């Protein structure tokens, strides 16, 4: 079971917006690990979210020695 934690006390995402954000993160990570390549981030809304997803993937990859 994955416990979803807010990123900060000032998190602006609530309810379905947070569910959608977490779903997007999980799908992105599954795609990256399954295909081992880069994903076209043009479909990701905003450069900040694209950077967040890339950094998250790289940190998990390094942590797990993939």
- Where in the chain are the domains? 39-65
CB 53 within 8 A of CB 41: yes
Measured CA to CA, the distance from residue 8 to residue 18 in angstroms comes to 13
Average pLDDT over residues 34-43: 64
CB 33 within 8 A of CB 59: no
Measured CA to CA, the distance from residue 6 to residue 47 in angstroms comes to 20
Residue 59: per-residue pLDDT = 77
Closest by CA position to 56, among listed 35, 42, 31, 43: 31
> What proportion of the chain, given as a percentage, has pLDDT over 70?
52
Residue 1: per-residue pLDDT = 46
pLDDT tens per residue, range 45-57: 666 677 777 777 7
């Amino acid at each position: 079971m994955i416990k979803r934690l807010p990123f900060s006390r000032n998190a602006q995402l609530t309810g379905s917006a947070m569910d959608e954000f977490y779903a997007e993160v999980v799908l992105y990570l599954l795609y990256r690990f399954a295909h081992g390549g880069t994903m076209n981030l043009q479909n990701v809304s905003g450069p900040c979210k694209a950077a967040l997803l890339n950094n998250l993937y790289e940190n998990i990859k390094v942590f797990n020695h993939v």
